Amino acid sequence: MIYPLPAVLVSCGKDESEYNIITVAWTGTICTNPPMCYISVRPERHSYDIIKKNMEFVINLTTKDMAFPTDWCGVRSGRNYSKFEEMKLTPGRCTIVSAPLIEESPLCIECRVKEIVSLGSHDMFIADVVNVRADDRNLNPETGKFELAEANPLVYVHGGYYDLGEKIGKFGWSVEKKK
């Protein structure tokens, strides 16, 4: 398989009684314009029915500091636990979707499901990105762009969680002309 993968917390539910969090590694960007993301979830997961019913969710990027709740939310079921409460995570109000965002996340991506594709063990929820909220502490003051590396993102490599480590180069550095 292809690794590393982002380890994200996906939040879902239209009201507090239904709020849940699921850890997802099968996720990514699938289109820039229009902006679209996907998550792949097993149909037997508690969050699956919530997402399918409401047709929306939030992808919350995780950090090194969020490693414990990221793992815990992936091995415990929302059928048995209130994950926000158990992990002391703060549900926040989104701008467009009804699902909660996770206040502790440096980047929250509000998604509205466009299509569900049955693939086998997982179904892929293809979604339009309808809003993005970035923590001001991770915005470059000069460019206003989100600085992902500064947020210490958490990634997953089959069976383990890692931070990214040091930057080796930037896109295009291999072909830049020397000054």
Q: What is the pLDDT of residue 164?
A: 84
Nearest CA to 99 among 16, 173, 158? 16
Distance between CA atoms of residues 134 and 27, nearest Å: 18
pTM equals: 0.93
The helix/strand/coil state of 61 is strand
Q: What is the pLDDT of residue 174?
A: 84
Kindly give the pairing relationship between strand 123-134 and strand 107-118. antiparallel
Q: What is the pLDDT of residue 179?
A: 74
DSSP 76: S
**pLDDT profile of the chain (179 residues), mean per 10:** 92 97 97 98 98 99 96 96 97 98 98 98 99 94 89 91 83 83
Cβ-based burial of 62 (10 A; exposed 0-12, middle 13-18, buried ≥19): buried
Q: What is the pLDDT of residue 63?
A: 95
Q: Which domains, ranges and CATH numbers included, belong to the chain?
A: 5-175 (2.30.110.10)
Nearest CA to 55 among 15, 114, 100? 114
Distance between CA atoms of residues 61 and 175, nearest Å: 31
Q: What is the pLDDT of residue 18?
A: 97
